[in-house]
Amino acid sequence: MRSAPRLFVYFPLLLILCVGLSACVARLAPNYDKAIADGLVTASQQIMTHFASTSSGTAASSFAQRDATYSSIIGNLDALALQAKSRPTPKSSVGDKVNEYLAKRGITITDTGEVPSAAALEQISITLTKMRDVDKKQGVTAFEVAAFKGQVVIYLDQALTYENFLEREGN
């Protein structure tokens, strides 16, 4: 039997590999959470409906009609950001090793430990809070609505892409 001697030679090597790679299955990012992904889709619909209804610009005199909508959207966004942020973010030696490897090649990655979707959601909340405050004070022009919308769409794309990307096999 030819395989036995080869196994005898390789077995110590395999054993060392097993021990050396004992933290092998890496987790470098938070787990996928369907509730957050679904919440993002719902929030997107709510936000886009708001932009559609204000696309011609607004007057401060009619702000009271929109106040509750702003509160509902901002409240939902803050709750989602909190959910996204409060998931445990794994710390893995694999991540450190990858960073060391890249650093040796002149690529420095600053790991803030921030969850990208949570940070993007916070920025959407900041954007809509600014829109609400300006709307209340003087109304917003149609052009400003377009600029607020453009900004929100960029952040939404970041949050949605990241959350959907977290759905790996076996999740």
Partner 1 sequence: MATAIDISSLMEQMKSAASDVAKKDISVLKGFSDRQIKAIAQQAALVAAGIASGQITTETQEFFLDSLKTMAQSFANTLQGLAKVTIEKVWNAMVGVLWGAIGTATGIDIPAIA
Residues that bind partner 1 (CB under 8 A): 2-4, 6-7, 10-11, 14, 17-18, 21-29, 94-95, 98, 109, 111-112, 114-117, 119-120, 123, 127, 130, 134, 137-138, 140-144, 146-147, 150-151, 153-155, 157-158, 161-162, 165-166, 168
Give the shortest CB-3-to-partner 1 separation in angstroms: 4
The closest of 111, 152, 146, 102 to 129, measured between CA atoms, is 152
Distance (Å, whole) CA 112 – CA 123: 17
Q: Distance (Å, rounded) from C-alpha 99 to C-alpha 113?
A: 13
Q: Which is nearer to partner 1, 25 or 68 (CB)?
A: 25
Closest-CA residue to 128 (of 152, 147, 144, 150): 152
CB of 85 to partner 1, least distance (A): 13
DSSP, residue by residue, 101-117: HHHHTT---------HH
CB of residue 111 to partner 1, shortest distance in Å: 8
Q: How far is the CB of 78 from partner 1 (least distance, A)?
A: 17
